[in-house]
Structure 1
Amino acid sequence: MSLTWNELTIRFDHIEREKLVEDWQWLVGSALPILITSVGDAFLQTASGEIYWLITGSGEFEKVADSYEDFQSKLQDNELVNEWFLIPVVAQLKELGVNLVDGKLYGFKQLPVLGGAYEPENYELSDIEVYFAMSGQINLKIKDIPDGTQVNFTITD
């Protein structure tokens, strides 16, 4: 199955970029999103122009390019694109009839940092803003807890 760029990314121009990552400021500082993947990760640009990959499922923030131009050239690398955009997972979700709609992304039911898998069954359509807020808050709460620690939490309004 071939996928289009519109199936691998989501539009977020209706959301203030600062608001989208406010629950991630503890990790990303003042970097702002320039691209959001359909599987809920984001690419952010710093004031100095560097591009970072925010991996929301595991709370990682990894430098991927020195500039926007460098980032654009890396988007031509099929191996990187497969890793960054989880093409096999998106293809499987589409085959299962789970299609993106405006304002939604494929969000984890259970974040991988909490034991969730990068499998189609662990994704659901999620509101963009709610997903970024929830994943940022959870990752902040557990960032200093040693691996393997039992974690219990309750989600409230």
Structure 2
Amino acid sequence: MVAGIFLETPDGKVHWLDTGTGLVEQVAQSREHFDELVRSSPELVDDWFLPPLVERLNAEGKKPNEGECFGFTILPVFAEGKYDTDNMFVVSVREQMVGLADVHRQLNGLPDGSSVRVKVTD
């Protein structure tokens, strides 16, 4: 629901794509290992799924339906972007993923701390 997609590679490893920052990291050697981490590591579940944030979003009436997720007004990859209810809204998964992919593609390769100008077009 918030900022992450888990991907299983052909060799069975599980990676986490943080859609807010564009970072990808391997989190488990296999799906079984991933399932065990979810069952046994509440701190990882908190990091990956952000349940307290989802609860606050839901309390504010921001409740995605099927095919929807939470999006960001300002992506957390930018200094001004936060994982906070004031910076988040409900959006279709497709719209969110296409938009994020385009932004992260454009940011790819820039050093941390780079200044960018964001231009929004229809």
Do Structure 1 and Structure 2 share a fold, with TM-score over 0.5?
A: yes
Q: Which runs of structure 2 are paired with 1:5-154 in the superposition (5 Å)?
A: 38-76=1-39, 77-115=41-79, 116-154=81-119
Q: Name which of structure 1's ranges 134-143 and 45-54 shifts more when overlaid on structure 2.
A: 134-143
Query: What is the identity, as a one-letter code, of the residue corresponding to 1:154?
Result: K
What is the TM-score of this pair, normalised by structure 1? 0.72
* Residues in 1 aligned to 2:21 and 2:3: alpha-carbon distance in whole angstroms: 11
Higher relative contact order (CA 8 A, sep 6+): 1
Output the CA distance in 2 between the equivalents of 1:55 and 1:138. Answer: 13
Structure 1 residue 99: deviation in Å?
A: 1.0
Unaligned runs of 5+ in 2: none
1:156 Cα deviation (Å)? 2.6
Give the share of equivalent positions with the same residue, in percent.
34
In structure 1, what is the Cα distance between the partners aligned to 2:110 and 2:32? Answer: 37
Partner Cα distance (1:133, 1:40) in 2: 13
Whole-angstrom distance in 1 between the partners of 2:75 and 2:90: 14
**Displacement over 4 Å in runs of 4+:** none
Decide whether the 8 Å contact of 2:70 with 2:90 is kept in 1: yes
| Aligned-residue offset at 1:43 | 0.2
Measure, in 2, the Cα distance between the counterparts of 1:111 and 1:105.
14
Number of matched pairs: 120
Supply the distance in 2 between the matched residues of 1:89 and 1:121 (Cα, whole angstroms). 11
CA distance in 1, matches of 2:65, 2:31: 28
Question: Equivalents in 2 of 1:146, 1:129: separation in Å?
Answer: 28
Deviations 1:101-156 (Å, cap 9, x if unpaired)? 12210111111112200111111101101111111111111122222322112233
Q: Distance in 1 between matches of 2:103 and 2:91?
A: 16
Q: TM-score, normalised by structure 2?
A: 0.92
Deviations 1:72-115 (A, max 9, x none): 11111211101100111101101111111122101111111122
